[in-house]
Chain A
């Protein structure tokens, strides 16, 4: 276990972290501000991936595909908010869960009808396909560095918007007390649409960034959404900062435990026992973390509300 490997695994953990953050940021805002549990948030992640893959194959340009796919998922977000999500804000959580679970099934089936069950894959431009030498013996794929950079930039932009602009002030106010914002005469419906669609666009961005690595496949959003929910619970519902630190924590713990738990357990378990128990324990670790945090801070690390 040398330092170069640890460094690479930390970068891998950060990469998973920023993806989780992009997904969790929208989820936490929608949940925090509209009090709306959107299980179908992962559908935007999937749609972003499929739209980008299709465009990349058509236009033969990854950059153009990304530039078009993100606004497109934003527009889909607006449509879904106006057409469907808006009717559900007043409903209780169980109804929201049922309705958005239905949306997942519809989205997955639509994707299967349009693109077929086998998923889509496309090549990265040559320039992104290589490795970059960070230090003497630390090499890391260029594309994964790009994912980390884009993710951090979006996080920074979101921080500036949420903390230093008027719209951000409204978003924060909405997260801590929705009724008061409404009572003050803010056009809350417009704000809701904007937040929902921005969340969709960020999820789409996460999906299209992972697509060249794992390919676009049906249900890819549902798989990662569960972890994104863990992230927002850890970070505190409604808090973008919480989503960021929660995502980084989960990304790092998940990646590092997958790579090093085996060696660690070998210190006091037999070779065979360590080998079989390590994958099981590392799969559980983030949930254990969530349980521990909920025990000591039920509102999460950066919880806006103490409900």
Chain B
């Protein structure tokens, strides 16, 4: 008797457990990278999500907010596994997060086929903006090509004729290169796609030597996370700072800058980057976010953090609009399509593929009033810019 009783009781308890909280709370699964060197990005995102939850007083439409963080280990297969767990075992209402395009591409089916909402907080692969677009998929970032397209336009405006391009060899790296090629009017004299992932190439000596010898007038790179810091150091050591001006996207940010400052890598000051957001962007929500983040964590938020903060407010707008009735998925979808929430980028609208139509700015690396290195907006490159893949999306 006892023998049968114990497993039976256990099964009952296990069955009962998920029910305890889910009746009242909005469950959000948040997939990001919390191990490996890329954990710095994941931690920044987690901090921003926690801040957003705090700023909403932990409530969405009379329900408690429950965020479950999951680690993708910087690997598509792990990302898919933790996504499956969030969807099937934790039964979350929204799955948000995803830094890496290849991880998002591997995981998206698990969420969308289970009729859950998927919010990409960073990755914006061309596939999901085009052929694979889905009514339950939303982005609080950008499509990968857009930011480098803005950079290509800046390079052309500045009269640069010959460009050398470097990026990691994965989905987003290829999108970044495609983006800059689309708007840059000069000639691309060389291109390197370097090994990426857990054992990414971090020594760029061979590529930098080739770039230097190529006769290029400028160097465009995309190296997110820790590779960005490593790249900047070698760029300075190779003596390229005054020979081959550097233009980056997603490489010099609030994550790499404190470390570069600590190591006194002055070559980075004055270098240019493009983006949809900067900590100094003027609107009430951004002021609240940046001040709150600085106060709580004592450092500038990165754009990853900004997008994460937005994702929680986007979800909040959906939950509020249906009065907390999470079964009303059509209502929530319609609310999110309106993009009617306070965003750190100011007001924007969603395209048919649910990627933002938004401004892109030229940013310069400067030292702020307290001597901390940060990025400052210099000019607007694109106004209300929409990605090009939306044409392939039949929503």
| B368 contacts A by Cβ under 8 Å | no
Which residues from B are CB-within-8-Å of A279?
A: 169, 193-195
Indicate which residue in B43, B206, B236, B264 contacts A258 across the interface (CB closer than 8 Å). Answer: B206
Q: Are B264 and A123 in contact (CB under 8 A)?
A: yes
Chain A 242-263 per-residue mask, 1 if CB under 8 angstroms from chain B, else 0: 0000000000000110110000
A141 to B237, alpha carbons, bound, how many Å? 6
Q: A255 and B206: CB pair below 8 A?
A: yes
User: What is the bound-complex CA distance between A4 and B198, given in angstroms?
Assistant: 33
Please give me the residue from chain A that is nearest to B234 by CB atom. Answer: A213
Q: How far is the CB of A172 from chain B (nearest CB, A)?
A: 33
Binding stretch for chain A, among B61-69, B207-215, B289-297? B207-215
Chain A contacts for B205, CB-based, 8 A: 12, 15, 141, 144, 255
Decide yes or no whether A8 CB sits under 8 A from chain B: yes
Q: Kindly identify which residue among A13, A143, A258 contacts B207, using a CB–CB cutoff of 8 Å.
A: A258
- How many residues of chain B have a CB within 8 Å of chain A? 40
Question: Within the complex, which residue of B169, B195, B199, B237 is in contact with A129, where a contact is CB–CB below 8 Å?
Answer: B237
Min Cβ gap B276→A in Å is 24
Mask for B16-50, Cβ within 8 A of A = 1, else 0? 00000000000000000011110110010000000
In the complex, whether B259 has a CB less than 8 A from a CB of chain A is yes
Most-contacted residue by chain A among B34, B210, B238 (CB, 10 A):
B210
Chain B: CB-nearest residue to A282: B195
Q: Is B270 on the interface with A (CB-CB < 8 A)? A: no
Q: Is A223 an interface residue (CB 8 A)?
A: yes
**Which one of A121, A223, A259 lies within 8 Å of B262 (CB-CB)?**
A121
Q: How near does chain B come to A208, taking the closest CB pair, in angstroms?
A: 15
Q: Is A273 an interface residue (CB 8 A)?
A: no
Instruction: Flag whether B239 is at the interface (Cβ < 8 A).
Output: yes
Beyond known contacts A5-B213, A12-B209: 14 more, CB 8 A cutoff = A9-B210, A12-B206, A13-B206, A15-B205, A119-B229, A119-B259, A121-B233, A212-B233, A214-B202, A218-B37, A219-B37, A223-B199, A255-B205, A275-B193
- Are B40 and A117 in contact (CB-based, < 8 A)? yes
- Contact of A2 with B by CB under 8 A: yes
Nearest CB on B from A47, distance (A): 16
Instruction: List 8 contacting pairs A-B, 8 Å CB cutoff, sorted by A.
Output: A121-B229, A213-B230, A213-B237, A214-B233, A215-B229, A215-B233, A217-B226, A255-B206
Q: Is the CB of B230 within 8 A of A214?
A: yes
A130 to B241 alpha-carbon distance, docked (Å): 11
Partner of A215, one of B191, B199, B230: B230
Contacts of B207 in A (CB 8 A): 258-259
Residues of chain A in range 218-240 having any CB-CB distance to chain B below 8 Å? 218-220, 222-223, 226
Scan B178-209; emit 1 where CB is below 8 A from any A CB, else 0. Answer: 00000000000001111100111011011101
Chain B residue with minimal CB distance to A122?
B263
- Chain B residue contacts of A255, Cβ below 8 A: 205-206
Would you give the 0/1 interface string for A107-139, flagging 1 where the beta carbon is closer than 8 Å to chain B? Answer: 000001000011101111000011100000001
Query: By the criterion CB–CB under 8 Å, are B37 and A8 in contact?
Result: no
Q: Mark B248-266, 1 if CB is under 8 A from A, else 0.
A: 0000000100011011110
Which residues of chain B have C-beta atoms less than 8 A from A220's C-beta?
202
**Binary flags per residue of A1-27, CB closer than 8 Å to B gives 1, else 0:** 010110011001101100000000000
**Quick check: A223 and B198 within 8 Å, CB to CB?**
yes
CB contacts (< 8 Å) of A9 on chain B: these are: 206, 209-210
Please classify how large the interface on chain A is, using the bins under 10, 10 to 19, 20 to 34, 35 or more. 35 or more
Q: Which of A139, A226, A275 contacts B199 (CB 8 A)?
A: A226
Chain B residues near A57: list those with CB within 8 A: 262
The answer to whether A206 has its CB under 8 Å from any CB of chain B is: no
Q: B210 near A5 (CB under 8 angstroms)?
A: yes
A125, chain B: closest CB distance, angstroms: 11
Shortest beta-carbon distance from B374 to chain A in Å: 17
A106: interface (CB < 8 Å): no
Within 8 Å of chain B (Cβ to Cβ): is A210?
A: yes
Enumerate chain B residues within 8 angstroms of A4, measured Cβ to Cβ.
213
Alpha-carbon separation in the docked complex, A9 to B202 (Å)? 16
Contacts of A210 in B (CB 8 A): 203
Q: Does A292 contact B (CB under 8 A)?
A: no
From A16, A121, A122, A129, name the one whose CB has the most chain B CB atoms within 10 angstroms. Answer: A121
Tell me, yes or no, whether A283 is within 8 Å of chain B by CB: yes
Cα A279 to Cα B213 with chains together (Å): 20
A283 to B237, CA, bound (A): 25
1/0 per residue, CB under 8 A from A, across B261-290: the answer is: 011110000000000000000000000000
Chain B residues within an 8 Å CB radius of A129: 236-237
A121-B262, A217-B226, A219-B37 known; A275+B233 contact, CB < 8 A: no
Contact B206 A141 (CB under 8 A): no
Q: How far is the CA of A8 from the CA of B209 in the complex (A)?
A: 7
Task: Determine the distance from Cα of A32 to Cα of B192 in the docked complex, in whole angstroms.
Answer: 39
* A39 shortest CB reach to chain B, Å: 14
